[in-house]
Amino acid sequence: MVFKETELYGEFAEYPLKMDHSVKDIEAYSFPDPHTEGRFQEANELINEFAQTHGIIGDLETSIFEAVHSIS
């Protein structure tokens, strides 16, 4: 998915399966690998830099339900 940055958050801008209508279309789609090495590297670096002096929280701007709904 492609996100459009707004003042406060990113919102869905392009929907990768918008034109796909069959099971074959969906099976052919290359979903991102959640285990890609380095995927969380920037987050880890920021945590390591600030963990001793700041509170660290996670922010989930969208739920899995919104993401699944917006993929098509």
Task: Tell me the residue range of the domain where 45 lies.
Answer: 2-31+40-70
What is the chain's pLDDT, residue by residue, as a tens digit (72 residues)?
788 888 887 788 888 788 877 889 888 888 888 899 998 899 999 999 999 999 998 877 777 777 777 776
Task: Give the three-state DSSP class for 64.
Answer: helix
> What total of structural domains would you count in the chain?
1
Instruction: Please check whether residue 3 is in contact with residue 58, taking contact to mean a CB–CB distance below 8 angstroms.
Output: no
Give the predicted TM-score (pTM) of the model.
0.49
CA distances from 47 to 1, 22, 44, 62, 67 (A): 26, 42, 5, 21, 26
